[in-house]
Structure 1
Amino acid sequence: MKKILMITAAAALLAGCQSDSQRDRALVGGGLGAATGAIIGAAAGGGVGPALVGAAIGGAGGAIVGGATAPKNCVAYDRNGNPFRVACP
């Protein structure tokens, strides 16, 4: 029970991290997905095997969703040639 509580607390702390980088969001999403998948797999299957399968599936799914939902920022230039970030179309 303590393990599940610690993993849940760590997942909640990581969920609060905000990042614009697609790679960073994929890593955080993969970590959260793996932790959640491991917890659900262990609870449903009651062993190490289902926990590992759940972690693998959750990690892959979390990484895909985290990378896909990252905001895209493009660079535009004003009349003086100064760069600034804009939302990509």
Structure 2
Amino acid sequence: MYVILVYDMGQKRVGKMRKLCRRYLNWIQNSVFEGEMTEVQLKELLYEARQLMNEAEDSLILFKNRDQKWLDKQIVGVERQSTDNFL
């Protein structure tokens, strides 16, 4: 599945959350990540994220789709991190 993840964390936890998300997804912009992942990977990511979060103060939002081809993505301005995987 294709996932877009957005989070808003307390300053002390934001670095740890960024590091966790980068293990699973492509970093797009500040607290925004996207990429393909399996259902198992998503469950692992959410489990680990909950360990880092203070759910009374922090938030994590997921947008899921079966495939990236069904997502119309438009970038205005500078793309911070390209998700192309050219070798």
Question: What TM-score results when the alignment is normalised by the length of structure 1?
Answer: 0.33
Whose helix fraction is larger, Structure 1's or Structure 2's?
Answer: 1
Using CA pairs below 8 Å that are at least 6 residues apart, which structure has the higher relative contact order? 2
Look at both structures and tell me which one has the larger radius of gyration over its CA atoms. 1
Which structure has the highest strand share of the two?
Answer: 2
When normalised by structure 2's length, the TM-score is 0.33
